[in-house]
C-alpha cells in the first residue's frame, strides 16, 4: 500500500496552491470532527464540552534583565479537561507560542492521557520568549515568576507541568522549588515531572519520549503492514530536530540497527548516505551549536530534508511541518510523529490517500507523559524505581496503546465496519487513518467517564 506518488504536475500544483488554515484550534477541531464519526455512542451534547478548554490562564509579568532593563513577558496555562484527573502537560518557551497553540496542545494531552490510560486530564503551558537570547539567570527569573503567577492553578492534584520545547530538567527544578517555597510543609515533589534524577526525578524520564517513539514504531512494524520492513533493522531514517526527543529517538533507532541518513536542527539539515552515529552528531552539535557544517555531509534545508527518499520520517521539532504544499512529495513509507501536531489535517488526507502510514503524536510521543505518570506515582510514595523497571513499564504501555489502536483500525480497514451514519453504498472514504482511530478511542473514553461521573450537579 505504501509509496503511491502524486504523479502529475497539475495535481501537485493544485495541492501546493490549497489555502490551508493553520490556526491550531481550527486544525485540532478538524481532527476531532473526523474522529467522532468512529466513536461509539457519543452523546451529542457532549461534543461542545469535549472541544472547549476548561480553564485558560493568561499572565503578563515583568522581569529585570541582566543589563538592568525591564521586559514584560506573557505566559499561558490551559487545562482542557479534568475528567480523568489533574491536568498534565508540558510548558514550552518559544517566541511563536500563542494562546491558540497552547489550547490545541492541551486538548491533545487530554486525548493522549486517555489513550495511554493514565489518570490525568490534558493541559499545556507556554511563555513567549526566545531562550537563545536569555542568560541562565534570566531563564530562572522568568520560570520562577511564571510559576508564582500561576499560583494555585498548578498543584500535585490540580495541574502538573512537565518539559517541552526549550524547557528541561533545570526548568522543572526551578518550578518545583518555587512552588515548594510557596507551599511549605507538604510533599510537593509531584507538582511537576521531568525533574532532575537527584531531585525527585525518575530514571528514564529524560529518555522516555524518544524511547517511546522507538517502541511505538517497533510495535507498528511488527504488524507486518510493510512485509519487507517488520523491524527497524536496516530502515533508512530521517529525523527533523535533534533536541531531547529527536536525539534520544536517533540513539534508539541506531542501537536497533536502523541507518540514520539525515538529521536537522533549527539551522538546517545534514545528509550522509552511509549514515550517522547519533553520538557523533551530538558531539559536533555540542561543540559548534549546530550539526550544519559536519564533515563528509551534504547540507540541506529542513523542507528539502522532509522530502528525502527514506523508510521512516520522524518529525521531532515543530508543528505544521507536513502540509498540503509538501505532503504530495513526501517519500517516506511511514511517518512517526515525535513532535506534537507536525502534520496538518489536509496533509493527513493526502498521506492517507497516498498510502503512507502515519503513527500519530498521541501514540508516538506518549512515552513522555507515561513516564511522567510513573514519576508522579514514585513521588507520592517517596520511591525511586530502577531504570529497568521504568523502561519495562514504558515498553508495555507503548505496546498496549499501539495494540488497542491497531485492533480498532483493523475493524474498519480489514473488517466491514462503517462509521456512524455511513451506509455501504455511499462513496465516501471510510478507511480511516490511525490518527482518526486513536483519537476516537480517546474521545470515547473521556466521554464515557464524563457520563459515568454524572454531570454535576
Residue numbers of the site for ligand NAD (CB under 6 A)?
163-166, 209, 240-246, 264-266, 302, 316-318, 338-340, 365, 368
Beta bridge partners of residue 141, listed in sequence order: none
- Marked catalytic residue, from 107, 124, 195, 285: 124
- Short-list 53, 131, 61, CA closest to 99: 53
The Cα–Cα gap between 216 and 221 comes to 9
Query: Least distance to ligand NAD from the beta carbon of 378, Å?
Result: 17
Nearest CB to ligand NAD, comparing residues 250 and 356: 250
Are 36 and 440 spatial neighbours (Cβ–Cβ below 8 Å)? yes
Give me the phi and psi of 259, to 5 degrees please: -110, 115
CA 450 to chain centre: 25
Cα–chain center distance at 350? 21
- Tell me the angle at which helices 244-255 and 205-221 cross, rounded to the nearest 10 degrees: 50
Tell the smallest beta-carbon distance from residue 125 to ligand NAD (Å). Answer: 12
159 or 265, CB closer to ligand NAD?
265
How large is the angle between the packed helices 278-288 and 244-255, nearest 10 degrees?
Answer: 150
Residues 301, 308 contacting (CB under 8 angstroms): no
Residue 219 Cβ, how far from ligand NAD at the closest point, in Å? 18
DSSP state at residue 201: P
Nearer to ligand NAD, 86 or 246 (CB): 246
Give yes or no: 124 in active site. yes
Task: Report in angstroms how near the CB of residue 315 gets to ligand NAD at its nearest.
Answer: 8
The residue with its CB nearest to ligand NAD is 243
Nearest to ligand NAD of 164, 307 (CB atom): 164
Which residue number, 39 or 371, has a Cβ lying nearer to ligand NAD?
371
The least distance separating ligand NAD from the CB of residue 317, rounded to whole angstroms, comes to: 3
Q: How far apart are CA 165 and CA 27, in angstroms?
A: 20
- Residue 101 CA to residue 103 CA, distance in Å, equals 5
Quick one: 15 or 317, whose CB is closer to ligand NAD? Answer: 317
Q: Please state the closest distance from residue 452 (CB atom) to ligand NAD, in A.
A: 28
Backbone φ, ψ for residue 12 (5° rounding): -65, -45
Place of cell 472514504: 429
- Catalytic positions: 124
Amino acid at each position: 500500500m505504501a509509496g503511491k506518488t502524486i504523479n502529475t504536475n497539475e495535481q501537485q500544483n493544485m495541492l501546493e496552491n490549497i489555502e490551508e488554515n493553520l490556526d491550531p484550534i481550527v486544525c485540532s477541531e478538524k481532527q476531532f470532527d473526523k474522529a467522532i464519526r468512529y466513536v461509539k455512542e457519543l452523546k451529542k451534547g457532549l461534543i461542545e464540552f469535549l472541544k472547549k478548554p476548561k480553564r485558560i490562564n493568561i499572565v503578563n509579568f515583568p522581569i529585570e534583565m541582566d543589563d538592568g532593563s525591564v521586559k514584560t513577558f506573557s505566559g499561558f496555562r490551559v487545562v482542557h479537561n479534568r475528567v480523568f484527573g489533574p491536568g498534565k502537560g508540558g510548558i514550552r518557551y518559544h517566541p511563536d507560542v500563542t494562546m491558540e497553540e497552547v489550547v490545541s496542545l492541551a486538548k491533545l494531552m487530554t486525548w493522549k492521557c486517555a489513550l495511554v490510560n493514565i489518570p490525568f486530564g490534558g493541559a499545556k503551558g507556554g511563555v513567549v520568549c526566545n531562550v537563545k537570547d536569555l542568560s541562565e539567570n534570566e531563564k530562572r527569573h522568568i520560570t520562577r515568576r511564571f510559576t508564582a503567577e500561576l499560583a494555585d492553578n498548578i498543584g500535585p492534584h490540580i495541574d502538573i507541568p512537565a518539559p517541552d520545547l526549550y524547557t528541561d530538567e533545570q526548568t522543572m527544578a526551578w518550578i518545583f522549588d518555587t512552588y515548594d517555597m510557596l507551599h511549605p510543609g507538604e510533599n510537593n515533589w509531584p507538582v511537576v515531572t521531568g525533574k532532575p534524577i537527584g531531585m525527585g526525578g525518575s530514571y528514564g524520564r529524560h529518555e522516555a519520549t524518544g524511547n517511546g517513539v522507538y517502541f511505538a514504531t517497533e510495535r507498528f512494524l511488527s504488524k507486518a503492514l510493510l512485509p519487507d520492513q517488520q523491524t527497524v533493522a536496516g530502515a533508512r531514517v530521517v529525523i527533523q530536530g535533534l533536541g531531547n526527543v529527536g536525539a534520544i529517538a536517533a540513539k534508539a533507532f541506531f542501537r536497533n540497527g536502523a541507518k540514520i541518513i539525515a538529521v536537522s536542527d533549527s539551522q538546517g539539515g545534514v545528509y550522509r548516505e552511509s549514515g550517522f552515529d547519533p553520538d557523533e552528531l551530538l558531539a559536533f552539535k555540542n561543540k559548534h551549536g549546530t550539526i550544519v557544517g559536519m564533515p563528509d555531509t551534504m547540507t540541506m534545508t529542513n523542507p528539502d530534508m522532509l522530502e528525502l527518499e527514506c523508510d521512516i520520517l520522524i518529525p521531532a521539532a515543530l508543528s505544521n511541518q507536513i502540509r498540503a504544499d509538501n505532503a504530495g512529495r513526501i517519500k517516506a513509507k511511514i511517518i512517526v510523529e515525535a513532535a506534537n501536531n507536525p502534520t496538518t489535517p489536509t496533509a493527513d488526507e493526502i498521506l492517507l490517500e497516498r498510502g503512507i502510514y502515519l503513527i500519530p503524536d498521541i501514540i508516538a510521543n506518549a512515552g513522555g507523559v507515561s513516564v511522567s505518570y510513573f514519576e508522579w506515582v514514585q513521588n507520592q510514595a517517596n520511591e525511586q524505581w530502577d531504570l529497568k523497571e521504568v523502561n519495562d513499564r514504558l515498553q508495555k504501555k507503548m505496546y498496549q496503546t499501539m495494540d488497542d489502536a491497531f485492533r480498532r483500525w483493523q475493524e474498519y480497514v480489514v473488517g466491514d465496519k462503517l462509521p456512524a451514519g455511513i451506509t455501504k453504498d455511499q462513496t465516501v472514504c471510510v478507511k480511516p487513518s490511525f490518527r482518526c482511530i486513536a483519537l476516537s478511542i480517546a474521545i470515547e473514553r473521556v466521554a464515557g467517564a464524563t457520563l459515568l461521573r454524572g454531570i454535576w450537579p
